[in-house]
């Protein structure tokens, strides 16, 4: 995995500046005065819901409901929470829900964790699909607190571990209503994204769930993976002060999808999506999903001031931010899956 070495980690690992080569023309957006493509998605069929609308308020309510289900790594109650998440995927419209249990080891202590990735398939047999993913685990260590006494305390994870799940659960029924049966969506809720300590970078246990998924996919790819054309990964998308610059690793490995997402966002008036690249690439689940053969983009706000602290609570989130992301992803997926296969 040579190219992964150029990824800095969002968890305070090595800060390796990316070569300017990564900021090539492939991911640059046209200047604002250039004519935009038609703002309407023309669907070649009659959907049951011709104008699906994502609700930021519903997504914020969903965050509130999810916060009642503890998902902290190591928490004894999380097994029940994972079952609740599986039910939520089915209730949201997934016709097939899969569990992928595995064991991950925390690098610094050798402690083992029983983890579970969840998959919710819409139109499981469809030959074409988009993957939407996020992590649902929340961090047991608030190591960005100024007070070292709090570093072993859990992070509430309203933004980091919950906002992405909420957006995807609110998107599923809209996609179920809008998409024809020959195209599908797979929602992946990855476990164990947080299983690493500051400074461990690639050597740590970060992205344990997507790492396990990629390793298993290399060994024996599931049938649905063959038709997966694109992946969109959400992480920390609820900050009321939302800033979404382009993540350089996404621009390098999935430039067309970056361009499509950010163009849709601008067309729909979501200024939270910024047309420049952030300086450093981020190690997150999109890296492993791309490695599994699905070119993937990470949508993340890494300027969140409550990141990995006990202040990552729902009062820092806003329905407007969740709407900007949900609306953009919805219309991007509709565009992708109603356009001819690339």
Taking CB under 5 A as the rule, does residue 247 contact Zn ion? no
Phi and psi (nearest 5°) for 173?
-65, -30
191 binds Zn ion (CB under 5 A): no
The nearest distance, CB 284 to Zn ion, in angstroms, is 9
Number of residues that bind Zn ion (CB under 5 A): 1
Smallest distance, Zn ion to C-beta of residue 312, A: 9
CB of 212 to Zn ion, least distance (A): 18
Q: How many angstroms from the chain centroid is the CA of residue 271?
A: 19
Footprint of Zn ion on 154-173 (CB under 5 A): 160
CB 13 within 8 A of CB 200: yes
Would you count residue 285 as binding Zn ion (CB under 5 A)? no
Q: CA 248, CA 143: separation in Å to the nearest integer?
A: 25
| 3-class secondary structure, 271 | coil
Instruction: Give residues with Cβ within 8 angstroms of 58, minimum separation 6.
Output: 170
If the CB atoms of residues 251 and 300 are measured against Zn ion, the closer one turns out to be 300
| Site pattern 122..161 for Zn ion (x: CB under 5 A) | --------------------------------------x-
Task: Choose between 160 and 285: whose C-beta lies nearer to Zn ion.
Answer: 160
Residue nearest to Zn ion (CB): 160
Q: Is 42 exposed, middle or buried (0-12, 13-18, 19+ CB in 10 A)?
A: exposed
Distance CA 211, CA 230 (A): 18
Measured CA to CA, the distance from residue 246 to residue 276 in angstroms comes to 6
The distance of closest approach from Cβ of residue 209 to Zn ion in the complex, given in angstroms and rounded to an integer, is 13
Kindly tell me which of 52 and 154 has the beta carbon lying closer to Zn ion: 154
The structure tokens listed for 172 are 């599923």
Q: Which is nearer to Zn ion, 135 or 331 (CB)?
A: 135
What H or E segment, with its residue span, contains residue 230? strand 228-235
Instruction: Pick between residue 184 and residue 205 the one whose CB is nearest to Zn ion.
Output: 205
What's the distance, Cα to Cα, between the start and end of the chain in Å? 26
CB of 161 to Zn ion, least distance (A): 7
In the complex with Zn ion, the residue whose CB is nearer, 43 or 150, is: 150
State the residues that interact with Zn ion by CB under 5 A. Answer: 160
């Amino acid at each position: 995995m040579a190219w992964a070495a150029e990824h800095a980690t969002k968890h305070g690992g090595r800060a390796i500046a990316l070569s300017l080569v990564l900021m090539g023309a492939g991911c640059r957006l046209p200047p604002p005065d250039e004519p935009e493509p038609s703002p309407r998605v023309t669907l070649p069929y009659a959907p049951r819901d011709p104008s699906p609308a994502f609700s930021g308020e519903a997504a914020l309510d969903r965050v509130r409901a999810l916060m009642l289900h503890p998902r902290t790594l190591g928490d004894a109650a999380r097994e029940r929470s994972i079952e609740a998440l599986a039910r939520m995927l089915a209730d949201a419209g997934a016709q097939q829900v899969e569990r992928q249990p595995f064991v991950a080891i925390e690098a610094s202590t050798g402690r083992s964790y029983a983890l579970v990735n969840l998959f919710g398939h819409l139109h499981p047999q469809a030959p074409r699909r988009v993957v939407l993913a996020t992590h649902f685990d929340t961090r047991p260590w608030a190591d960005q607190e100024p007070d070292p006494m709090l570093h072993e305390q859990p992070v509430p994870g309203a933004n980091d571990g919950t906002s992405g799940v909420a957006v995807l659960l609110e998107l599923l029924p809209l996609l179920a209503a809008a998409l024809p049966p020959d195209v599908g969506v797979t929602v992946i809720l990855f476990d164990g994204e947080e299983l690493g300590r500051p400074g461990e970078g690639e050597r740590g246990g970060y992205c344990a769930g997507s790492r396990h998924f990629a390793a298993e996919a290399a060994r024996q790819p599931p049938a649905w993976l063959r038709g997966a054309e694109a992946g969109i990964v959400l992480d920390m998308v609820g900050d009321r002060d939302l800033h979404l610059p382009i993540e350089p690793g996404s621009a390098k490995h999935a430039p067309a999808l970056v361009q499509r997402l950010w163009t849709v966002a601008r067309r729909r008036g979501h200024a939270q999506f910024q047309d420049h690249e952030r300086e450093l690439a981020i190690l997150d689940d999109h890296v492993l999903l791309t490695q599994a053969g699905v070119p993937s983009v990470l949508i993340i706000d890494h300027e969140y001031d409550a990141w990995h602290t006990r202040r990552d609570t729902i009062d820092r989130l806003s329905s407007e931010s969740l709407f900007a992301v949900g609306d953009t992803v919805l219309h991007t997926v509709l565009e992708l899956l109603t356009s001819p296969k690339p």
